[in-house]
Amino acid sequence: MTIIEDTPVGRLRKDGAPHAPVPGPAAPPQAPPYPSGDQPVRPTASRVADLVELQERVLRGPSPKATEAQHAKGKLTARERIDLLFDKDTFTEVEGLRRHRATGFGMEDKRPHSDGVITGWGLVDGREVFVYAHDFRIFGGALGEAHATKIHKIMDMAAAAGAPIVGLCDGAGARIQEGVTALAGYGGIFQRNVRSSGVIPQISVIMGPCAGGAAYSPALTDFVFMVRETSQMFITGPDVVQAVTGESVTQNELGGADVHTGRSGVAHFVYDDEEECLQELRYLLSLLPANNRELPPAVPVEDPVDRLTESLVDLVPAERGRAYDMRAVIEELADDGEFFEVHQRWAGNVICALARMGGQVVGIVANQPCDLAGVLDISSSEKAARFVQFCDSFNIPLVTLVDVPGFLPGVDQEHGGVIRHGAKLLYAYCNATVPRISVVLRKAYGGAYIVMDSQAIGADLTLAWPTNEIAVMGAEGAANVIFRREIAASDDPEGTRERLIREYQDKLMHPYYAAEHGLVDDVIHPAQTRVKLIGALRMLRSKYTALPSRKHGNQPQ
């Protein structure tokens, strides 16, 4: 083995050979005079000018003709909608220069920037909100791989930031030229909808066609807005329906705004134009927390918290068979008489609304005596259950106004699964851990009384007016069952029936019977209702309930 001495460079090794010279620092590589070898480097100012021109071109959209076509349909462009949604000059776009990479069917020659969807975030009344908006002027807003990836990214950003996300939907479904990759893009959206459910508010605004798989994402979100005449939702379009069933139907007849807000219950809100729709969307966002870790935003209120509601004494008739409008009751209780009703045109026998009391946001569930006498049925049970679950997810206290004669009887209801659907509302209330206060205004009979957030299923506080009647059923029906033989054997059946009805009412249906048995916490003067509710909500604001450890419950479907 050759041994090398630690000697200066140039001296001999022990074997007599000279040391190899120690390499010095390498010389820096010589850059060519120009990047291409023959062109000068463009100055930064020139490149910035190119960027500005490109950004302006992206903001203008594909062409004036495409914009005019959008306006001719009575619709705004995606960027015009975003301007109306957000506070002025607060929108920040993400991936505005993205383009698809599909080939075939001429796609390689059509690569517009943004790829038909605008994504980003901005402020709504000073609070952060994320958005994606289909641009119908580009590929008809159809979803392809790059388009879907942009939506995935903004949904992930919203979840990470803990802020609401809004989808402004105006697209023709999956991009056929991209095949299965477009369908996979929808799958990624659906997965994120479910992951964010109950974590951040998700709102869909249908402002054009929303067909096929595209319709499932709005169905997974918390609220759906629609615009009359210009927005439609359906799984299969009119042509397919006619080919399969022979039925001839227009797009609006099949899946228009009035259909989905009044008949199917798919959509929650409907408006005549996009400007009003987006303005009401801003108002809804002002009532919601940013995520499930926050309380709803409180605001200063000029409506006195000690204001008496004297008009309620005359507003609600004592006669249990007389109708009245429960909305008038809610107006008296809410701050400044303002409330935001959800699903107003569907299942009108129950009212679901967001309002403020003492500046704090509350969710209100109330029977509506002027619609089917306020009974519960399949649709109203589903409507209320969904609303209760939403409020519980986002820390919104629940106030339940009870005036219910029972569940709607009938073969159609029983065969349609009223038991299963009614159980959804029962499950939602029993599972809710937010503050829960119920007020029995008048009648509360049978299973419907239990389901409407009775004390037995966990209401924190139960109040009642002196007009309340809480019982298994109405006095007339109860007397017919209990005293059937006695009435039949009487020489005066009608007189005996009336006497026994009054006897049953005096013993079991007087307004203090439930209070005497601890099922009502207090019987209050109607004029004190608002004061009592605000005081109870203040007391329950820090309520905490620990639930059993579980992956999730198996709620009725």
Ramachandran region, residue 403 (left: φ > 0; alpha: ψ -120 to 50; beta: rest): beta
DSSP 27-73: PPP---SSTTSSSPPPPHHHHHHHHHHHHHHHHH-S-HHHHHHHHHT
Task: Report the alpha-carbon distance of residue 336 to residue 191 in Å, rounded.
Answer: 40
162: DSSP letter: T
Active site residue 212: yes
Task: Report the alpha-carbon distance of residue 175 to residue 228 in Å, rounded.
Answer: 26
Q: Are 164 and 288 a contacting pair, CB within 8 Å?
A: yes
Q: Are 115 and 146 a contacting pair, CB within 8 Å?
A: yes
Q: Which tokens hold the place of 305?
A: 């918290």
Q: Are 214 and 169 a contacting pair, CB within 8 Å?
A: yes
46: burial class by Cβ within 10 Å (0-12, 13-18, 19+)? exposed
Selecting among 102, 172, 448, 459, the annotated active-site residue is: 448
Residue with tokens 């993205």: 98
The 3-state DSSP class for residue 219 equals helix
- Directed axis angle between helix 378-393 and helix 418-431, to 10°? 20
Task: Report the alpha-carbon distance of residue 436 to residue 460 in Å, rounded.
Answer: 5
Question: Of 132, 134, 190, nearest to 164 (Cα)?
Answer: 132
Selecting among 140, 179, 213, 359, the annotated active-site residue is: 213
Task: Report the alpha-carbon distance of residue 535 to residue 529 in Å, rounded.
Answer: 10
Task: Report the alpha-carbon distance of residue 302 to residue 530 in Å, rounded.
Answer: 15
Task: Report the alpha-carbon distance of residue 527 to residue 205 in Å, rounded.
Answer: 40
Active site residue 213: yes
The 3-state DSSP class for residue 439 equals strand
Selecting among 162, 188, 348, 447, the annotated active-site residue is: 447
Strand partners, 124: 127
Gyration radius of the chain's alpha carbons: 33
Q: Are 343 and 322 a contacting pair, CB within 8 Å?
A: no
Task: Report the alpha-carbon distance of residue 388 to residue 360 in Å, rounded.
Answer: 17
Question: Of 406, 417, 452, nearest to 432 (Cα)?
Answer: 452
Selecting among 140, 162, 179, 212, the annotated active-site residue is: 212
Catalytic positions? 212-213, 447-448
